[in-house]
Amino acid sequence: MTPPPVTVLLIEDDPGDVDFLQELLTEAPSPACALEHTDRLAAGLARLAASAVDVVLLDLSLPDSQGLDTVVRVQAAAPTVPIVVLTGLEDDTTALRAVQAGAQDYLPKGDLDRRTLLRVIRYAIERQRADTTRQHLEAQLRQAQKMEAIGTLASGIAHDFNNILAASLGYTELALDEIAADSAAWDYLQEVLIANTRARDLVQQILTFSHQSTPERIPMTLSATVSEALTLLRASLPAMVDIRPSLASDAGTVLADATQIYQIVMNLCTNATHAMGAAGGVLQVSLQAVEVDGPLASQYGRDPGPYTCLRVQDTGTGIPPHVLDHLFEPFFTTKAQGEGTGLGLAVVYGLVSDHDGFITVASTLGEGSTFSLYFPRLDTVARAVVAPPERLPGGQECILFVDDEPALARLGKKYLTRLGYEVAMRTSSLEALEAFRAAPQRFDLVITDHTMPHMTGETLAGELRRLRSDIPIILCTGFSHQRLAERAERLRLDAVCMKPLVAAELHATIRRVLAARRTSLPGDPHGHGHAVGPISREGQA
């Protein structure tokens, strides 16, 4: 297959030089060149703005521009297009300055021949592509490092904030037990409890979103996740943006990862907001069940059938036709320097493809754009039925409760004592180890925080197991839990609970862990007749 010709833009005002260069390039065997010519820099810059070219041959002495400033202006107008400077002067200093100003190469006109010119053009294009690739990789690395730093910061903030929430949430629960259910104070505390629970879930969303993790795709309806993303997004968008959600409750079930759906919504809505500019506009987000026919599905390499369609529509400036073809390319952006990385839509495209879906885009200049995302629907999956909470029996076992935050340690002891347990509280992992070493058979269960000075919860668990291999251990953490859960399984821990703890959830986890120990397979010296499963909001491992 014959490669397309190389588009060469010649900016030269000398007719003799133009004829000579045209003669050299017109009959070039390989690569074939399509020469376009302007005799003014202003006309050349206008041509560069109209559509792409592969290389610019640039004279430094033009009627409307002189010297190295000519290179600077072309470089600013088309930073990814290689520039080869042509001049009648054979001056190494000028050549060096031209390259420093942004040119890929420098050629004296007197030494030109077809072979040299074609070689320089080819090398200039290759070097420019290599430079562009390097810059993109560096930008990607900087972005990855920035996101890693943000994730680390979010983990630390979430841990500290979770400890604050734990005290507020826990003591509200205790207060509710002391107040009559028909009193106004009980209603007020219920509102405090709801607000604390929402804050806990929000912290967990931020924590999960800021860390890369292995996708956990489960059958789910998208409406709740999309609604949560829009709620969080509302606080960061300008007041002039009018978000209008229309999320059908019967849009169906899809196999999806909630964090990735969250990321898709955030990226699309942020992109739509940028398209609407400072004046704002209407951002419509809808979700509905659709049937995709054969022609549309085959166009994107998918199977026809039932899909859930997530649609994001804005009233922005619209997308020019020549931009649509590059919309999902990594690092492609029409934003000014510093306003975007060009990764947002590429990430959306990748995530939708990973979900076996596809994207269509419709846009009208001056009216806005619509992104329609199609996810295969699982009509055979039954919707989850939320069972009423089961009232669990109280306990009477002896529990060693360890947390370096005194307020949380006291709260944990109050929780568990009210449920009937005997509780030994320690605010130091070293003190907890000494207490256990002194009487290892006294305790039926250990609940320990993960992040503590001197000795982490993981290390403490290992030391306790060396003293007594069958002791059940529950690890509590306010950090992102995935890697911790993997390590916990290797350590043969019985459960991992996400902080802040809720009394009923903690009690349910304790009963489940102790019941599993009692039904462990005979002959298992560690009592591990059960496996550590995924962590849930209920604190289950």
| pLDDT tens digits along 352-367 | 988 999 999 999 888 9
Distance between CA atoms of 261 and 290, rounded to whole angstroms? 18
> What is the average per-residue pLDDT within 2-28?
85
Q: Would the pTM count as exceeding 0.85?
A: no
Take residue 321 and report the two structure tokens written for it: 């036709």
> What is the average per-residue pLDDT within 482-508?
75
Distance between CA atoms of 266 and 229, rounded to whole angstroms? 7
Distance between CA atoms of 98 and 60, rounded to whole angstroms? 9
Strand 281-292 with 241-247, pairing: parallel
pLDDT reported for residue 109: 79
Phi-psi region at 378: left, alpha or beta (left = phi > 0; alpha = psi -120 to 50): beta
Distance between CA atoms of 267 and 281, rounded to whole angstroms? 17
Distance between CA atoms of 490 and 487, rounded to whole angstroms? 5
* Unique residue bearing structure tokens 């990764």: 343
- Assess contact for 21 and 12: CB atoms under 8 A: yes
pLDDT reported for residue 370: 93
Which range has highest mean pLDDT (8-12, 493-497, 527-531)?
8-12
Strand 105-108 with 83-87, pairing: parallel
Distance between CA atoms of 402 and 433, rounded to whole angstroms? 10
pLDDT at 45 over 80: yes
Who's near 63: CB < 8 A, 6+ residues apart?
13, 39, 40
| pLDDT tens digits along 54-92 | 999 999 889 999 888 899 999 888 888 999 998 776 667
| C-alpha distances out from residue 487 to 461, 463, 492, 525, Å | 12, 15, 9, 21
Distance between CA atoms of 374 and 256, rounded to whole angstroms? 12
Distance between CA atoms of 330 and 344, rounded to whole angstroms? 8
* Percent of the chain whose pLDDT exceeds 70: 80
pLDDT reported for residue 234: 80
Going from the N-terminus, what domains does the chain have, and what CATH number goes with each? 6-112 (3.40.50.2300), 219-376 (3.30.565.10), 398-518 (3.40.50.2300)
DSSP string covering 190-249: HHHHHHHHHHHHHHHHHHHHTS------EEE-SHHHHHHHHHHHHTTS-TTEEEEEEE-T
Distance between CA atoms of 415 and 418, rounded to whole angstroms? 6
- Assess contact for 63 and 34: CB atoms under 8 A: no
Distance between CA atoms of 190 and 178, rounded to whole angstroms? 13
**Closest by CA position to 457, among listed 423, 441, 425, 433:** 433
Alpha helical stretches, state H, 51-113: 69-77, 92-101
**Closest by CA position to 274, among listed 210, 209, 364, 334:** 334
Distance between CA atoms of 314 and 268, rounded to whole angstroms? 10
Distance between CA atoms of 541 and 526, rounded to whole angstroms? 17
pLDDT at 162 over 80: no
Take residue 523 and report the two structure tokens written for it: 């002959």
pLDDT at 533 over 50: no
pLDDT at 387 over 80: no
Distance between CA atoms of 311 and 272, rounded to whole angstroms? 12
- Beta bridge partner(s), residue 305: 292
> What is the average per-residue pLDDT within 477-497?
70
* Unique residue bearing structure tokens 């951002």: 283
> What is the average per-residue pLDDT within 173-185?
86
3-state secondary structure of 500: coil
**CB atoms < 10 A from the CB of 50, how many?**
9
Distance between CA atoms of 205 and 216, rounded to whole angstroms? 14
- Phi, psi at 281, each rounded to 5°: 160, -160
pLDDT at 541 over 60: no
